[in-house]
Homo-oligomer: A and B are copies of this chain.
Amino acid sequence: MVVTVQQIARETGLSQPTVSQVLNNKAQRYSADTRQRVLDTAERLGYRPNSAARSLLTGRFNCATLLMGSEYSHNMLSQGLLSGIHDELASNEMHLTLAKLPNELLTDEKYVPRLLREWTADGLLINFNAMIPPALIDLVRKYQLPSVWINSIHPADCVHPADLAGGRVATQKLLDAGHRKIGYVDYNYGFNDAVPPQHYSAVDRRAGYAQMMREMGLTAQFINAEVCLSNDQRLTHMREVLSQPDRPTAIVTVSITDAIHVYVAAQSLGLSLPKDLSLIAFDSEAAFGRHLNIDAMVVPEYQEGREAVRMLMAKIAKPDETVPACVIEMPYDSGGTIAPPAKPS
């Protein structure tokens, strides 16, 4: 059935450690003949090293676990982040296991997924976008595994985008084009019974916008609602906003969803972008330019993933040292939706 080193040893008439040595490329000291014989039979039999046996011996799993929340809004596991994590792990000869933390943990503190109950990985990447349950933090500490927080702010050992700076830059782009009446759209903002609660990124992006406007002596105009609106309600609301005589000439949105609503509302009012309205959104790498071309501050997911793994590798090497928080700038990508305002205000 499964081919072991032992079998190759028998087959070749060599000792089991000899085969092991040859297969691991160590010790060029073996005779060319022996080496060839071993490699040939290994190939012929389809030998594959048993990672469990090696782990047991080395004490390393060559594996990191990505821990995520189980609700869509909690994890938003993006293609880019996953790719970045995967690629950087791969370049360290490590692989990735996935653990979704079910809602049970949030309520029933007893529940812990097997991946965490057992000793399976060398490190932990924690991607909880919002509402990190305190039980999780305890668990991580108790688990004593090198870990890095992704997309959340901690004193150290974390990586996240520069959302505040992103908010500033987005606003700056519109200011540079000559806009003064700039609105900020986040239809998920503000209502307390929101599920999930606001993530820091939404708060920071908004704050970046507000800062920039204040510094320029301009009035911030927040466009949102007190309650959670449906897509259609948002479109209607947005149409109302854009129908006002003193409507904003440019808009920043916290997400691509909001941006699409602005885009569609504008179209239906006969406003064309960017001639009559400028628009810039925060967007993920994977979604950028996918549906519509919209200027965006792009969440640097891939780089985040790579950076997180680099930090994790450092922590695995020196478990007792903390790594300083890593804040990654958001690049700006043009989508052709920014132009000077029609009539200078």
- Interface size bracket, A side: 35 or more
Is A194 positioned at the interface, with any CB of B under 8 Å from its CB?
A: no
Is A290 positioned at the interface, with any CB of B under 8 Å from its CB?
A: yes
The A245-278 residues at the B interface (CB cut-off 8 A) are: 256-257, 260-261, 263-264, 267-268, 270, 272
Q: How far is the CA of A54 from the CA of B50 in the complex (A)?
A: 13
B-side contacts of A56, CB under 8 Å: 50, 52-53, 56
> Contact string, A268-310, partner B, CB cutoff 8 A, digits 1/0?
1010100000000000001001111100000000000000000
A96–B93 CB distance below 8 A: no
B-side contacts of A114, CB under 8 Å: 62, 90, 93, 95
A residues near B (Cβ < 8 Å) are 2, 46, 48-56, 59, 61-63, 70, 72, 75, 77, 79, 82-83, 86-87, 90, 93, 95-100, 102, 113-115, 117-120, 142-144, 230-232, 256-257, 260-261, 263-264, 267-268, 270, 272, 286, 289-293, 336
B77–A260 CB distance below 8 A: no
Q: How far is the CA of A143 from the CA of B46 in the complex (A)?
A: 8
| Oligomer: number of copies | 2
B-side contacts of A62, CB under 8 Å: 114
B51–A119 CB distance below 8 A: yes
A290–B95 CB distance below 8 A: no
B100–A98 CB distance below 8 A: no
Q: How far is the CA of A90 from the CA of B143 in the complex (A)?
A: 20
B118–A48 CB distance below 8 A: yes
With A48-B119, A97-B97, A264-B264 as known contacts, state yes or no: A289 contacts B86, CB within 8 Å.
no
A231–B95 CB distance below 8 A: no
A49–B118 CB distance below 8 A: yes
Q: How far is the CA of A342 from the CA of B256 in the complex (A)?
A: 32
